[in-house]
Structure 1
């Protein structure tokens, strides 16, 4: 049912916006709303009230395991980018460049041509099919020759073999908070949490094929995984018999089960109180005698870099790995390292060769095992991962105006201002903690739309210089993958010699996402998310503040969630909370743990599984605090300039519409298997729970919809 709203709270002079932009947005909200919305109490099920009919116009494609507003916006961005890539160089573009050594347009076209060459190499399915399994077979043969496996036994020590595999099968990112590489050991440059102005080296586990421990305890998942390993070994190593591959796959699975049981969970890897363990390099070497970390680091670090100390994510893990390795045969260990290489490169092979691996990945997410994504989408994703700044330069010219950046800056500034005021008014915080917290908001670095430094993507020369050492082949998509890997590896490890670049983006311009990074205390809002329905010029403020503003507030609040709060105003990991204030903080945070742990989803087998309130705590705090800050920021704007209503939505107040805009931005649905996978590993609560749980924590929402209780379920910021 739709509750009555006090007429005194509605301004009579608001009027209705009837522009095409307003009509289109109104149609979107109305089409998403449940058809039986009058029978639904928004106070108890706002997700269904707002999004009940969204799925009717957004079916899950055969190649998708889920669909939501984020993926819908991403699809629109993808379509635009594919159009750019498959069209001639846009000669009518205006270039803003500081390049003084010649014609900037020449460099801009060279950048464009490099991107198109990379894209075309991926789209050349005939060449990929002709290459077949050979590109990866060549890598496996090279590994065998290096390790001595050609003679039947490994004659090279484990450290050298691991270095070889990481060089050809590792994916490095200097500022990513988790590794993207498979393997039992990862080493990567890492912004030092206690001294964020420098970059150190972090040691920890890599990714595992089944990703989370729960799947290694699932008979169906492990059977599918084993089938994939055997299938890929049969295709890539046909000279070996099938029974040998079955035995090796069983050994790999046993090894991975032991490794992931010893590994820290995703929550431990996100909490600095768990993962930040500084060690001297000598002490780190002693944790795992089978591997020389000092030699491993020297193999990748610049020759003039001195290794003094490292961060060990989990000392206990490496101690257990030592025992695991001692009980693993050399044959299984080498097969495992080859499997690491296969997982890294399988997706760059022809569809028939990679079929066993693709089927497994599809099954894990509940897709049709034979589902294949559109080729142009695959190739665009490859560009996004490996040539992001060329891609971003051309994307923003078509999809992001100076006016959009100005509006985005205004919304983010408003929310930071509100957050500072909220902090100043809290009575439960001590004066010292309050001062540090306010300074942290003041110090935040804003990255809005696209990079204008490191590199400045508006300057063709800056972009060309960034990719100067990267050579792209027109004839081999696989070799381009190796070139990208070598390029990223070198740039990442070179960061050890320089002060932390706090202005480097870890997201691409077209990406539909946002981020807060604690050690650099920076907020990132790519142009990709600043698109409809999150963000639209010429809409009433309630729409932009309710959708994009909540995203902006979410990222600001991350600085003060259970994880971000452990970093001070300079981005350094230290305890800046007195005991009394911290105790109240933890009590308020515990409310969120209990609240979200009571929510459930239905597993594919019909059982009810509870949301992990501990795993999702940081995101739930950010959702609640972010929406509260966005609402306060919008109210301040609306008090100056009353917002208009929209056609077909005149029965709502602008306060109600603010929350409807918020809910609509999080509409979505997932296949049951994908929902289960996310429940195990995703720090975000399921989408419908994020909507209903978050608004239940808002005084403004409860007042707007005249809920029986005006007291939020949980509240921190």
Structure 2
């Protein structure tokens, strides 16, 4: 029905004269309905045309394509010439779209995807449950819910911790009463509460025999950062702040905040002295003393202040431990110095107070908001904006972190079943195989590599262990349930749940000691978004959390998958050759030609104006540049085999351009200038803009597909290649 403007005028006239009001209202209603219907039909036609354009007559996830398209276009700043600065072109609008979170020190696409994965876990933990009673999954959910029950936690206050402290001699800052025996208290803290004030004990792969596990001993993880991290004036402020924190803990636990004269000050002095006997990792590396092989008997002689046999028996009970038990010590000089300090302070109550401080620090995250506020205030002062991130304000984030600390296999199984079907795993494995083949082809073209080394390199790649998605054991439900069978969880007592979980972790540690070392133990959780290469195990790991939009999806065009996750795969694959780039790492190679390529890459990254140390970042820059080239070649090889390519709506980009845009989008992010400057000396990766502009400016294929004239910033005449 067509409604004319004249009809509307007539209605207005009728309203003004008061005549035929009802007929007028009916006319307006008809007009509104007609307009709404037209809009709806137009929208349906738009979506239909999109689906037809994207997928033809076949099935397709149109919503997924639209979401990907929105991500890419919303991040892009198309007013920037891609040949001038491809990072600004691909990511120029990304920061603005995430402005509510760019107050953080750093935020990037990886962080956003990780949060999406965490929200999935949150939904799974909070949703209706249908499972076997007493299962590990049910216990994980109960633990999470007890953490979320802040009303009950607040009502219980400090009483759960006070009851526990009374069992180990109390806070004992008043000087009244006799403190428990030092070694007896230490054994209790280590055995019952997994608290390690003076040294850290864990089971790990033996550095002397990779197939076996061994007890490893290292310095503890100090809550107060060492003096070496701060300038002199700043460190004095750190001491003042931490002293205030200790006094606040004492007050919260019912004691006077000042305690006896100088009790907390002396404790602080002891902590500082303990930190000073730690040998820095770089110094141990230079001395070739990363590990020291010894036995409990020898350890007792070198660091006699500790009753080593009793302490380790407490940790690994019921496993029989004797004086001949082999031990791998990380820093023997520290243990000697620690022992001397303990003997010097043995008559003081300081040792007991310090141990209780460590116990409270370990358990206070399970207490009420007063303790959380105290920890947050301390972290903010010590670590700035990063301190706020370390202790999340939103309760669900904290509870998810705590739950994953104790129930990682359970949460891993939950998220894998939710987001990582077998079809995804199969396609990911096929992609990695394609990238391996592309690398073989690239090795054949390297002029600096001799034939014998070339064949050895191919063998090295063929022997690589590839782990995609998740470690196999987490899907073995019966095995996971067995690991938690002795754990009792009560939704009413979060604090006691934490204590119970610490006990089970300790009990399970001795089982690891009895087993051969398993490469099934990853350094990352299945829901994380960071891959890695393990030199020790010659293994690459790609967790399930990475195989999601915008990095990967079964329905994405191959250009997107290879441009994002494919580049990550090639990057990690190239880390297997890290030794070839190091001095003397390839004795039969044409070292002159290789060094020329290395110098080219070093000079390139140092010329960008970010004060990047091109030598320090060389291995990562090499993997970035080579990874992009190999992933692109793998993509072209894939197309030859599979012929067809899914298309996104026509947005003025070819599939080749989409490959490079997907690569760049994966690197979009924001970094606080101060944080960026400090990371230049600690992070072997280049800043995000260089991780995009560096590789594409070394790619002739990129220049070809974006029609970049010779001599433009993204198409320099001199290009740097190692792989």
Using the size of structure 2 for normalisation, the TM-score is 0.77
SS at match of 1:501: coil
**Of 146, 161, 164, the match for 1:121:** 146
Alignment of 1:94-243 (within 5 A): 106=132, 110-144=135-169, 156-157=181-182, 160-167=184-191, 170=194, 183-211=197-225, 214-217=228-231, 219-220=233-234, 223=237, 226-237=240-251, 240-243=255-258
SS in 2 for 1:311: strand
Which of these residues, 374, 385, 394, is aligned with residue 366 of structure 1? Answer: 385
Q: Give matches, 1:591-610, under 5 Å.
A: 610=611
Determine the structure 2 residue equivalent to 1:263.
Answer: 278
567, 576, 582: which one pairs with 1:559?
576
C-alpha change, 1:578 and 1:620, in structure 2 (3 Å) is: closer
Match of 2:305 in 1: 290
Q: CA deviation at 1:545?
A: 1.2
Q: Matched residues in 1 for 2:613 and 2:309: separation?
A: 38
Name the counterpart of 1:443.
Answer: 463
Residue 300 (structure 1) aligns with: 315
Q: Please point out which of 553, 558, 563 is paired with 1:546.
A: 563
Q: Aligned-pair distance for 1:191?
A: 0.8
1:554–1:625 Cα contact (<8 Å) kept: yes
5 Å-filtered alignment, 1:73-88, equals 73-88=113-128
Matches within 5 A, 1:650-665: 650=652, 652-665=653-666
Distance 1:586 1:317 in 2: 40
1:89 Cα shift? 2.2
Taking the TM superposition and a 5 Å limit, the aligned residue runs for 1:526-537 are: 526-537=543-554
Question: Whole-Å Cα distance in 2 between the matches of residues 168 and 374 of structure 1?
Answer: 30
Distance 1:245 1:299 in 2: 32
| Residues 534, 544 of structure 1: 8 Å contact kept | yes
Alpha-carbon distance in structure 1 between the residues aligned to 2:93 and 2:69: 14
Tell me which of 494, 497, 501 is aligned to 1:477: 494
Deviation at 1:543, TM superposition (A): 0.8
- For residues 462 and 168 of structure 1, do their structure 2 counterparts lie closer, same or farther at Cα, with a shift above 3 Å needed? closer
- What is the CA deviation profile of residues 421-458 of structure 1, one whole-angstrom value per residue up to 9, with x for unaligned ones? 44465454566655554333223333322333x24x2x
Higher helix share: 2
Q: Is 1:187–1:202's contact at 8 Å kept on the other side of the alignment?
A: yes
Change (3 A) 1:20 1:686: same
> 8 Å contact 1:611–1:685 — kept in the other structure?
yes
Match of 1:499 among 510, 516, 540: 516
Equivalent position of 1:634 in the other structure: 635
CA distance in 1, matches of 2:233, 2:568: 39
The 8 Å contact of residues 516 and 522 in structure 1, kept in 2 or not, is answered as: yes
Equivalent pair of 2:533/2:572 in contact (CA under 8 Å): yes
Question: Which one of the candidate residues 427, 430, 438 is aligned to 1:410?
Answer: 430
Distance 1:250 1:501 in 2: 45
| Alignment CA distance shift 1:500-1:655 (3 Å) | same
CA distance 1:625–1:498, shift in 2 (3 Å):
farther
Q: Is the 8 A contact 1:365 1:671 kept in 2?
A: no
State the partner residue of 1:464. Answer: 481
Matched residue, 1:709 = 716
Q: Rg bigger for which structure?
A: 2
SS of 2:244 mapped into structure 1: helix
Q: Output the CA distance in 2 between the equivalents of 1:699 and 1:140.
A: 67
Which residue in the other structure is 1:337 paired with?
A: 355
> In the alignment, is the contact (CA less than 8 A) between 1:551 and 1:626 conserved in 2?
yes
8 Å CA contact 1:60–1:67 kept in 2: the answer is no
1:351 Cα deviation after fit: 1.4
The SS at the match of 2:204 is strand
Counterpart position of 2:692? 691
Q: Deviations over 1:630-689 (max 9, x none)?
A: 233223213443646644542x44444322212211222244565567556555444344
Q: Take 2:614 and 2:226, find their aligned partners in 1: how far apart are those partners?
A: 17
CA distance in structure 2 between the partners assigned to 1:493 and 1:667 by the alignment: 44
1:5 — aligned with what?
none
- Provide the C-alpha distance between the structure 2 equivalents of 1:582 and 1:142, rounded to a whole number of angstroms: 68
Aligned partner of residue 485 in structure 1, secondary structure: helix
Residues 318, 21 of structure 1: CA spacing in aligned structure 2 closer, same or farther, 3 A cutoff? same
Where structure 1 has 5 or more consecutive residues not aligned to the other structure, the ranges are 1-14, 91-104, 172-181, 567-574, 602-609
* Matching residue of 1:174: none
Contact 2:173 2:259 in 1 (8 A): no
TM-aligned CA distance change 1:369 to 1:300, over 3 Å: closer
Q: Does 1:668 align with 2:669?
A: yes
Superposed CA offset, 1:148-176 (max 9, x none): 9975675634x5554444345547xxxxx
